[in-house]
Homo-oligomer: A and B are copies of this chain.
Amino acid sequence: MGIGLGMSQIAHIEGRLQMRQGFLDDAVVAYESLGKLNANTSNAVIIFTGLSPSAHVASTESDPASGWWEDMVGPDKPIDTNRYFVICINSLGSCFGSTGPASCDPATGLPYRLTFPVLTLEDVANAGAKVLDHLGIERVHTVLGASMGGMTALAFALQHPQRAEGLVSISSAAKSLPFSIALRSLQREMIRRDPAWEAGNYPIPGQGPAMGMRLARKLGMITYRSAQEWETRFGRERTVDREPDVGPFGIDFEIESYLDAHAEKFVGSFDANCYLYLSRAMDLFDAADHGGSLKQAFARLGLRRAMVIGVETDFLFPVHQQEELALALEPHVEDVRFARLDSVQGHDSFLVDMERFRPTIASFF
């Protein structure tokens, strides 16, 4: 399928993995670990990712390719692998080694495609807990996640109150709001309405609705950054290499060229059905489901420390959602810190604004 496991390790889940709405048999979860687990297994940090990354969070000797958070994780970096045993999880439902809609259903020998059960971030979190079982880790020093990963980290802390001492939630939220649901719903519709989607049955997982994936990725890129950043970076600059043969409505401005280059890279590198399942899982997440209200849900948390980080220019997960999350954690967690960063790169700032994010994350660890 052209989409690889890389050097990830695999945890086989014994027996049946119960999901919120269904189950999986013989499921696997791909993960990568960095650093060394100490003798009393107290130095583990588990990282849940956003929608699209693999478990390859940072380069190692065995896999020297740059990871998606290369500047944050490693020896002497803010999440210091000289001190911590870092485990990054490829989300259940994704296509980089973990079982997902592109994987083979052992019952039929065919890819699950749309027969994959409805996916929730609670399921993704539980699959992460299975990796800890596999590694013999009862309790982690910190569960950390950004974007979708922040919701998954919260789902982990809610479902396994004794298994995490600390939580770091970055540019995330306790629930999805209608604005981000609308954007993701439209992205999914772009994919679903591409005739090459074939109602989910495109022949080769990882291929299929290239047009829909291209459009969805462009909308993603628009929502991941900020208007301010683009004004400074691109302004009204015209592109030098105009797209040929597309008539009067092709690429003219630099901003159009930038989006096109990013979309081009994405198409064929992520499976469309996996994208649909993970995207919907974000919409479905509401931490208040774990109690009659957010307050009741958070009363069950077993955390001792939490850090919530938000970015002012993020309009996909607006900073007021992070502020609300920090406030809601306060009565139930001894040590809660809230960092409001003035990065200009919007939602994606945690990936690029190392000047602000590195010291903030380092201060927690």
**Using a CB–CB distance below 8 Å, which chain A residues touch chain B?**
114, 118, 175-179, 181-183, 185-186, 188-190, 192-193, 195, 199-200, 211, 214-215, 218-219, 222, 226-227, 230-231, 233-236, 246-249, 251-256, 259, 276, 280, 283, 286, 315, 318
Task: Please name all residues of chain B whose beta carbon is closer than 8 Å to the beta carbon of A248 when the two chains form the complex.
Answer: 114, 118, 276, 280
The answer to whether A280 and B236 touch (CB under 8 A), given A181-B256, A183-B222, A227-B315, is no
The CA-CA distance from A151 to B275 in the complex, in Å, is 39
| A to B CB contacts below 8 Å, 29 in the list | A114-B247, A114-B248, A176-B236, A177-B227, A177-B235, A178-B236, A179-B231, A181-B256, A182-B222, A182-B255, A183-B222, A185-B251, A185-B255, A185-B256, A186-B215, A186-B222, A188-B249, A189-B218, A190-B215, A193-B211, A195-B195, A199-B247, A219-B219, A227-B315, A227-B318, A248-B276, A249-B276, A252-B283, A315-B315
Task: Please name all residues of chain B whose beta carbon is closer than 8 Å to the beta carbon of A199 when the two chains form the complex.
Answer: 247
The CA-CA distance from A319 to B326 in the complex, in Å, is 30
The CA-CA distance from A258 to B280 in the complex, in Å, is 18
Task: Please name all residues of chain B whose beta carbon is closer than 8 Å to the beta carbon of A226 when the two chains form the complex.
Answer: 179
Task: Please name all residues of chain B whose beta carbon is closer than 8 Å to the beta carbon of A193 when the two chains form the complex.
Answer: 211, 214-215
Q: Which residue on chain B has the smallest CB distance to residue A234? A: B178
Task: Please name all residues of chain B whose beta carbon is closer than 8 Å to the beta carbon of A246 when the two chains form the complex.
Answer: 192
Cβ distance A350 to chain B, nearest Cβ, rounded Å: 20
The answer to whether A253 and B186 touch (CB under 8 A), given A192-B246, A193-B215, A247-B199, is no
Task: Please name all residues of chain B whose beta carbon is closer than 8 Å to the beta carbon of A254 when the two chains form the complex.
Answer: 178
Q: Which residue on chain B has the smallest CB distance to residue A180? A: B227
Contact B222 A256 (CB under 8 A): no
Task: Please name all residues of chain B whose beta carbon is closer than 8 Å to the beta carbon of A118 when the two chains form the complex.
Answer: 248
Contact A255 B181 (CB under 8 A): yes
Among B185, B253, B259, which residue has its beta carbon within 8 angstroms of that of A283?
B253
The CA-CA distance from A234 to B181 in the complex, in Å, is 11
Task: Please name all residues of chain B whose beta carbon is closer than 8 Å to the beta carbon of A176 when the two chains form the complex.
Answer: 236
The CA-CA distance from A246 to B211 in the complex, in Å, is 19
Task: Please name all residues of chain B whose beta carbon is closer than 8 Å to the beta carbon of A215 when the two chains form the complex.
Answer: 186, 189-190, 193, 215
The CA-CA distance from A185 to B253 in the complex, in Å, is 10
Cβ distance A364 to chain B, nearest Cβ, rounded Å: 29
Contact A286 B179 (CB under 8 A): no
Cβ distance A238 to chain B, nearest Cβ, rounded Å: 11
The answer to whether A222 and B178 touch (CB under 8 A), given A189-B215, A236-B286, is no
Among B114, B181, B236, B256, which residue has its beta carbon within 8 angstroms of that of A253?
B181
Contact A186 B259 (CB under 8 A): yes
Among B185, B234, B286, which residue has its beta carbon within 8 angstroms of that of A259?
B185
Cβ distance A212 to chain B, nearest Cβ, rounded Å: 9
Cβ distance A320 to chain B, nearest Cβ, rounded Å: 10
Among B186, B211, B255, which residue has its beta carbon within 8 angstroms of that of A218?
B186
Task: Please name all residues of chain B whose beta carbon is closer than 8 Å to the beta carbon of A249 when the two chains form the complex.
Answer: 188, 192, 276, 280
Task: Please name all residues of chain B whose beta carbon is closer than 8 Å to the beta carbon of A230 when the two chains form the complex.
Answer: 177-179, 182
The CA-CA distance from A318 to B226 in the complex, in Å, is 12
The CA-CA distance from A190 to B178 in the complex, in Å, is 22
- Nearest first, the 9 A-B pairs at minimum CB distance are A179-B227, A178-B255, A178-B230, A178-B234, A185-B256, A188-B249, A182-B255, A186-B218, A193-B211
